[in-house]
Amino acid sequence: MAGEIPVIAIDGPTASGKGTVAGRVAERLGWNLLDSGSIYRMVALSAFKRGVEVSDEAALVPLAAGLDARFEQGAILLDGEDVSVAVRREETGNAASRLAAHPRVREALLERQRAFLQAPGLVADGRDMGSVVFPHAPLKIFLTASVEARADRRYKQLIAKGLPANIDSLLHDLRERDARDTHRAVAPLRPCEDAVLLDTTRMSIDEAVRFVLDLAHDRGVA
Ligand code: CDP
């Protein structure tokens, strides 16, 4: 039964390192990975492409429902086109954060996300993984780090991809995105009651990965 397949839900604010940690935990366990943020980001790219405003919920719903999104061998494909780099751009993330505030857009993406739940297990990365998409996940982690540490990580990530980055505007954007994600009415950014908080400000990625794996092991989840 699908309900018996274990899920580790990892959430946290923007640029907290949750994507990297989730990816490595999935790799170490040999489990599937749901990078839900990329799905929201692809809806944003699809909206850009079709000239749909991120404020236009009615137009976004069919676009989200019919999204031709595929994850293949590390590449992210939208309408068959490799968008692995475009999807990481800050403007894409900002637009994703705006359109993710529409309840009907979130609903249109629900089943697509739940379909990732396949044996032997799933590591699910994103805002509402533990609260809405997989509320029965036996392990929920809320990863945080100071806004300065997150801006620094995002800066390095963008530069490494050859994308433009400026530390001051990143700090400003992160603060704005935190506020928007925290205060929105649907799926706001906040730890679930049963989530384990992990502050990674002074932690390396490897240490954070080890923490999650140890916890999963201690709890008999993996
Ligand atoms: O790490 P960062 O927050 O920049 O981004 P992400 O995980 O790639 O997601 C991009 C945006 O999509 C976030 O800022 C969220 O507002 C939204 N999102 C969401 O609402 N629900 C999810 N499950 C995943 C992402």
Ligand 1 and 97: CB distance under 6 A: yes
CA 80–ligand 1 middle distance (angstroms): 22
Mutational pocket test of ligand 1: of 36, 133, 142, 153, the residue with most ligand atoms within 8 Å of the beta carbon: 36
Whole-number mean pLDDT of the chain? 94
Domain boundaries defined on the chain: 2-218
Question: What type of residue sits at position 125?
Answer: D
- Tens digits of per-residue pLDDT, 77-128? 999 999 999 999 989 999 999 999 999 999 999 999 999 999 999 999 998 9
Strand partners, 142: 11, 197
Strand partners, 75: 72
Q: 181 pLDDT band (50/70/90 cuts)?
A: confident
Q: Whose CA is nearest to atom 9 of ligand 1?
A: 37
- Tens digits of per-residue pLDDT, 147-177? 999 999 999 989 999 999 999 999 999 999 8
For residue 181 the two structure tokens come to 């994600």
Contacts of 186 (CB under 8 A, 6+ apart): 101, 102, 103, 106
Domain 2-218, CATH:
3.40.50.300
pTM reported for the whole predicted model:
0.91
> How high is the pLDDT of residue 127?
87
DSSP string, the chain: -GGGS-EEEEE-STTSSHHHHHHHHHHHHT-EEEEHHHHHHHHHHHHHHHT--TT-HHHHHHHHHT--EEEETTEEEETTEE-TTGGGSHHHHHHHHHHTT-HHHHHHHHHHHHTT--TT-EEEESTTIIIII-TT-SEEEEEE--HHHHHHHHHHHHHHTT----HHHHHHHHHHHHHHHHH-SSS-S---TTPEEEE-TT--HHHHHHHHHHHHHHTT--
